[in-house]
Every structure is written in structure tokens, then in C-alpha cells.
Structure 1
């Protein structure tokens, strides 16, 4: 990272993703941008001392830590942020680290078969709740319950790994 061109490429490659991630946690556009800026300033200032094996997880972890630090300094209950972070679990599915992908697959395999099927239809086939209910011959409420239960179960399995950002993002928006 000592090379200014590499730093600039890293900045350009990750600024948008990190800003979106920071905003997800803070819900404050200016604060989110300031946090990401702080992370990049810190990265540049410590470039001679850092050894980074994987830049993407490092940057996301740094943003998460800066968000927590900001709220700790402002006497904010960080459990709210940890919940939002745990929610950050299936948006960038294709860019997931292979080890995390293996973990996600093992967690999915632990889901009851019907719950797994409903979740996969909803998240990976982009089917609506109505479409899933119709295809499986079950009520819309059952579909919602299955999705909610599956997400809760996956969040529990990922709780201990919250520091391994970025992982996929499960948003419950139905």
C-alpha cells in the first residue's frame, strides 16, 4: 500500500461499498462519509507499518470499528449497531470470501428443508412472497414466517463472525 497508485486504486474500488456499509450502520450520510474518509486517512498514514493480507475484509472491519468507536465516544448503545451489522449478511453474494461461502453453505444446510427452500427462492431466485406461496401451495404468512425464521437462524450462526466483514447481507424487507 506504499505505492500511491495502489492506494488510489484501492480508494476508487472500495469507496462506494464502504460508504454504503457505513451508511447502513449509521443512517447518517455525512457521518458515513466521514468515517470512510477516516479509515482511508488512517490507512495512508500507517501504510509503512501495516501488513494487510486481504484488503477488503480489513477495510470493512476498520469501518465497522470506526462506527463503533464513534458511537462509544458519544455514549451510544452499540448493540443496535451490532444488530444492523448482523443484518449485513447477503447483498454482495458473488464477492464473498470462499471460507465465508463455505460457512454460509454449512449454515444453510442446517436449516430445515422447507425453510431453506423458501429462503433460497426469496433471496437467490428473487421470487416474491406471493410467487413462493403460489408455487409451494402455502400461505403468504407461512412464507414470511419461514423467511424470518431462516434469517434469525443464520444470524445466530454468524453472530460470532461479525468481525469478518464483508459477509452477505440479509435484509428483512417484506
Structure 2
């Protein structure tokens, strides 16, 4: 059966049951895009290929337990997580080298962490329903007030507040789900 016509959801369902052809289609469909994202962050083709392989292998290994709503966004976020882990590993190697050989590193930990967190939150925001995402971006990213957003979108202020509350809940939930990773991440910066 040709899986090139499958939607993301159909591919995920098939892959979850162990369908290797569905996984192959996911690999073929997203490999180049994921490589571009990884390369953008690493500027190292070899490291970028390794990161993409790691993410895709992890996807296959965890296929039965993952609950993915949007595959392309999940994979892009997973690539960013893996890039960050690779940068952290490299930083630790550099720190050890500095301790042993007296060399110094140039990575600014706080900037890396802030960038990662910003990208992660933006990934969560992009998964919000369209109206909710629009309201949240107007409020938090453009600094518009509730009344102004309500006028611009022709909705009530209560609806604006409800969308902002919903968005914040999703962000908190997403960060809470990544909590273990973030705790580990923060431990590297102490």
C-alpha cells in the first residue's frame, strides 16, 4: 500500500502499530526539513545528520507511547531539544578541557537557555487553535490590551481573556510535561 498519500495522523496511527512502511514514509517526508533545522542551529552538517537520525530513531523506539497531535511540529521541537542537548554536551566537554588543559569556552549559557526556552514556548503557541494563537500573540508578543484586541478581532473582551487563559494553560502544561528535561537542563547551568 502506497503511504505517500497518508495524512500525518494516518502515518502516526500506522507507525504506532509497528508499520515500518509508515515510518519509512515519515522519514522520507521529513528528513530534509529536519536536517535544515538541525543545520541552522549547529552549522555542522555531520552533527545535524546525527541529530536527525537520533530523533527519528527515538520516534520509532517510542512509537507506541507517544501522543503526537502534529507530527511536523513535534519533530521540529524534538530536533531543537536534541540540538540543545548536543550543545550542552559540547559545553561540558569544553568545560572539562578547560579544567584539564586550561582552555576556555565561548558559549554563553544563559543566552542558549533563553533561546531554547523561547523556541520551545513558540512551538507550543504554534499548536494552539488559530483564534487563540492570534489573541495570545497580539497580547503577549505585540503588547496589545484586551480592549484593543477585542475591537480588532470583533470579539468580546471576555472572549479575549478566555483565549489568553487557554493559551497560558497550554504553555504551562507543555512546560510541565517537559519539566524533567528542564530540571536536568537547569542543573547544567549551576
Q: TM-score, normalised by structure 1?
A: 0.49
Higher Cα Rg, which structure: 2
Higher relative contact order (CA 8 A, sep 6+): 1
Q: 1 or 2, which has the higher helix percentage?
A: 2
